Amino acid sequence: MPELPNLIDMLKMGVHFGHKQSKRYPKMDPYIFTVRNNIHIINLEKTLPMLAEALDFVKTTARNGGTFLFVGTKKQASDCVARIAQSVSQSYVTNRWLGGTLTNFLIISKMIKKYKKLKNEESTGENLKYTKREQLELNREKEELEFLIGGISEMVKLPDVLILVDPKKDDTALREARRKGIPVVSLCDTNVNPELITYPIPANDDAVKSIELILNLLAQSIIEGKTESLKEAPAVVNENQSGTQEKPLDDSPKAVF
């Protein structure tokens, strides 16, 4: 598990800032320290152990070969979500959550197949066999698919874990994950219900630095888990099919009678 940030670093990143009092979700009360200027202040001493638990879970999942889907469609999160997800070779959604991404993955898979076909035709020049009008229509279709599913074009199965930035903004993604029994790791600001999240992390989900801090730690956990998985891979033993070690060939000269 990556080294946890200290409270000073988290304060500098604005992780402690919640929402206005009027937007408080009652079940977030245990994680609120105080109120300043009508803004809730998150208790970072409670954030740290919950962050550690989430990181440990993510690392274990990665070590076991699990896959992750990062989701953050709010403006201040989209760029860092895409960058961080790509850095660990995981799928992501940053533009708009397409309804049925998890609950109707068969249809999504067909869209991914279509998108890859259009990209391949463009890269190989195969699309030149079409008229200019047809090429224009196909290009528009490719761009639309790229907007919708570009970040999940390599997702061949449902993810093992959903990583959310804002479960209120992307509530459809959260509902679909819960319906499919997919664990959810998410930042939880003071305006959301933490009981809907498998591994909630009380933190500011509006500040870019806060989002980057949490997501980078999750990404480091994925890397560590994958690295440990490679180290734990059993060494290949030169054995025959019966399970016994093969004997070296005897090259010594034989007597001739």
As a dihedral over the C-alpha atoms of residue 79, residue 84, residue 88, residue 92, rounded to 10 degrees, the angle is: -40
The confidence band for 254, taking pLDDT boundaries of 50, 70 and 90, is: very low
Across-strand partners of 40?
Answer: 35
Q: What is the pLDDT of residue 229?
A: 86
Share of the chain above pLDDT 90, in %: 81
Statement to judge: residues 174 and 195 lie in one domain: yes
Whole-model pTM: value is 0.87
Statement to judge: residues 13 and 92 lie in one domain: yes
Domain membership of residue 244 (yes or no) is: no
The confidence band for 230, taking pLDDT boundaries of 50, 70 and 90, is: confident
Statement to judge: residues 15 and 94 lie in one domain: yes
Statement to judge: residues 88 and 197 lie in one domain: yes
Statement to judge: residues 42 and 96 lie in one domain: yes
Sign of CA dihedral 168, 173, 178, 179: positive
Residue 196 neighbours by CB distance under 10 Å: 18
72 φ/ψ angles, rounded to the nearest 5 degrees: -160, 95
Mean pLDDT of the chain: 90
Domain membership of residue 16 (yes or no) is: yes
Q: What is the pLDDT of residue 165?
A: 97
Statement to judge: residues 26 and 95 lie in one domain: yes
Query: Would you put residue 141 in left (φ > 0), alpha (ψ -120 to 50) or beta?
Result: alpha
Statement to judge: residues 30 and 88 lie in one domain: yes
The pLDDT tens digits for 148-198 are: 999 999 999 999 999 999 999 999 999 999 999 999 999 999 999 999 999
Domain membership of residue 120 (yes or no) is: yes
Statement to judge: residues 64 and 174 lie in one domain: yes
The confidence band for 238, taking pLDDT boundaries of 50, 70 and 90, is: very low
Domain membership of residue 164 (yes or no) is: yes
The confidence band for 109, taking pLDDT boundaries of 50, 70 and 90, is: very high
Q: How many domains are contained in the chain?
A: 2
Statement to judge: residues 85 and 166 lie in one domain: yes
Domain membership of residue 162 (yes or no) is: yes
Domain membership of residue 1 (yes or no) is: no
Domain membership of residue 122 (yes or no) is: yes
- Tell me which residue range forms the domain holding 129: 104-155
How far, in Å, CA of 18 to CA of 135, rounded?
Answer: 49
Statement to judge: residues 137 and 148 lie in one domain: yes
CATH code where residue 194 lies? 3.40.50.10490
Statement to judge: residues 139 and 167 lie in one domain: no
Statement to judge: residues 77 and 170 lie in one domain: yes
Sign of CA dihedral 22, 28, 34, 39: negative
